[in-house]
Structure 1
Amino acid sequence: MRSELFSAENLEKESSQPGLRLQNSKLLKAELNGEFMARVGSMVAYQGQVQFEALGSGGIGKFLKQKLTGEGVPLMRVRGNGDVFLADNAADIHLIDLEPGDALSINGANVLAFDSSLNYDIKMVQGAGMLSNAGLFNCVFSGHGRIAVTTKGTPVVLTVDQPTYVDPQAAICWSASLQTGYHRAEQLGLGTLLGRTTGERFTMSFAGQGFVVVQPSEEPPAGLAGTGGGGNQQEGGILGNIFGN
């Protein structure tokens, strides 16, 4: 049988070391000898002796936070020995290696898989406000290990060494040490009152030293921040006490 389908670039890539690696730009391969964490429903194929265990958001604390916020990552633990292939609607996949002392804030919708050695929690995005279309809460990862994130299209990595502003629906992840805020991009005026708008009313602001990853696509609103309800007065209240630490 002959076909370009069977060319070398499409054959399974082998490695002598276990862990997460790219099979191609849209397919993640986990050479499994132990366990890792993955988004529920992301498995497209596997070989070997592999078990899948649903975890909700990764523990009762994160489960409760996800129920309160609508944010987080619906997780499954994958364990055993074999090869597991993961994908998310043909989105582009990127690998990030965290070192001790690193911390990364990631939109939960863009988390595909990560080493179980990493710590993660659902945190309030300080200064974003309840009106943010990106969501008021993000997943913050720290520790030592590898994480796979997805983007719709090829992203740009912005070095934050001056005031930086990003459409909140396009922000994928950023250095957790950055100070975030909320900035009105569109000036109010008669045109606004008459219904004319640029479509760029609000942006997230970033200050400090670090980076922001921006995808060339705007995700639809999700979570509490996307409900559009009049809950913005509660940001400093009960949820702020729960998630502000």
Structure 2
Amino acid sequence: MNRYSVAEFIRKTEQEDKGEGFFELETERLLEVNLEGLVWAKAGAMVAYHGKIKFEREGVLEHGVGAMFKKALTGEGASLMKANGHGKLYLADSGKKIIILHLQNEAIYVNGNDLLAFEPSINHNIKIMKKVAGMMSGGLFNVRCEGTGLVAITSHYEPLTLRVTPGKPIFTDPNATVAWSGNLQPDFQTDISFKTFVGRGSGESIQMKFEGDGFVIVQPYEEVYFQRQS
């Protein structure tokens, strides 16, 4: 039954402090950041906050001239923002499920569209998927997150983690690939035989190939990306 009095609805859905620290899942699709300083987040992900918090888009020279050119090539120069201050910040992204990972001197690559937030102790670097740039209309970049701290990523529905082991490569659809371990460098390939069945603009099936020892996280959903118009 989904019928409540106003008082019942408030009791059922109101914010609750769970004592989980810096990142806290209010629901599986809404992240609470207990902010006492700085957090990096996906631009546009703020849904509410209270306290004194200032928002600032990531500057084009934030990480040097090289990063500026990468951002220009990806068309995602304002994909991240900094939230600085004290209070509670609530983040979400299109109703996607949120996963909090605690990196311990580790690295992970995250699809640029699936990175929600991370602590300032995490170093981040945008990586362009050069080999796929001419094959897809968007989703051309990922972010390498490295260090010790919390990273929040998003997934449409329940994610699946696949182990990559030597001699047994894993192939994934780029539109369904959320993240992978920092030691893996995927290759891109096309399968012409799939062209009849796949509604891609290129008429080909584009696949990511992961080889080595690590993991890759996929979602049961093909996310479609759009390049920002200049």
| TM interval, short-chain normalised | 0.7 to 0.9
**Equivalence for 2:52:** 49
Give me the whole-angstrom Cα distance separating, in 2, the residues matched to 1:137 and 1:111.
Answer: 11
Q: Is the 8 A contact 1:56 1:74 kept in 2?
A: no
Partner residue, 1:158:
162
Classify 1:73/1:156 alpha carbon distance in 2 versus 1 (closer, same or farther; 3 Å): farther
Instruction: Mark the CA change 1:129 to 1:70 in structure 2 (over 3 Å): closer, same or farther.
Output: closer
**CA–CA distance in structure 2, aligned partners of residues 72 and 42 of structure 1:** 16
TM-score (structure 1 length as normaliser): 0.77
Note if 1:124 corresponds to 2:128.
yes
Q: How many Å separate the matches in 2 of 1:2 and 1:119?
A: 44
Where in structure 2 are there 5+ consecutive unaligned residues? Answer: 199-203
> 1:73 touches 1:109 (CA, 8 Å); kept in 2?
no
Contact 2:174 2:207 in 1 (8 A): yes
Report percent identity of matched pairs.
34
- Residue 69 of structure 1 and its aligned partner are, at CA, apart by 2.1
Which residue number corresponds to residue 88 of structure 1?
Answer: 93
RMSD of Structure 2 on Structure 1 (CA):
2.5
Instruction: Tell me what 1:5 maps to.
Output: 9
* Counterpart residue type for residue 44 of structure 1: V
Instruction: State the Cα distance separating 1:54 from its structure 2 match.
Output: 2.2
> Which one-letter code corresponds to 2:15 in the other structure?
E
Offset of residue 147 of structure 1: 1.0
Match of 2:177 in 1: 171
| Deviation for aligned residue 1:72 | 6.4
Per-residue CA distance 1:86-125 (angstroms, 9 max, x = gap)? 111211111111111x111111111111101100111234
Q: Distance in 1 between matches of 2:193 and 2:208?
A: 16
State the shift of 1:137 in Å: 2.8
Q: Is the 8 A contact 1:49 1:81 kept in 2?
A: yes
> Once the two structures are superposed, what CA deviation does each residue of 1:224-244 show, in whole Å capped at 9, x if it has no partner?
9xxxxxxxxxxxxxxxxxxxx
Q: Which amino acid aligns with 1:158?
A: L
Q: Which secondary structure does the structure 2 equivalent of 1:66 belong to?
A: helix
Q: Contact conserved, 2:113 with 2:139, CA < 8 A, in 1? A: no
Question: In structure 2, what is the Cα distance between the partners aligned to 1:185 and 1:215?
Answer: 21
State the TM-score, normalizing by the size of structure 2: 0.82
Cα separation, partners in 2 of 1:73 and 1:121, compared to 1, 3 Å = farther
Counterpart CA distance in 1 for 2:221 and 2:60 is 26
Match of 1:237 in 2: none
1:177 maps to a residue whose letter is: N
Select between 142-151 and 17-26 the one with higher mean Cα deviation. Answer: 17-26
What is the SS of the residue equivalent to 2:175? coil
2:116 to 95, 99, 112: 112
Q: Residue 157 and residue 148 in structure 1: after superposition, are their counterparts in 2 closer, same or farther (change >3 A)?
A: same
1:1-245 paired onto structure 2 within 5 Å: 2-8=6-12, 10-16=13-19, 18-56=21-59, 59=62, 61=64, 62-71=67-76, 74-100=79-105, 102-125=106-129, 128=132, 130-132=134-136, 135-161=139-165, 162-187=168-193, 197-199=196-198, 201-223=205-227
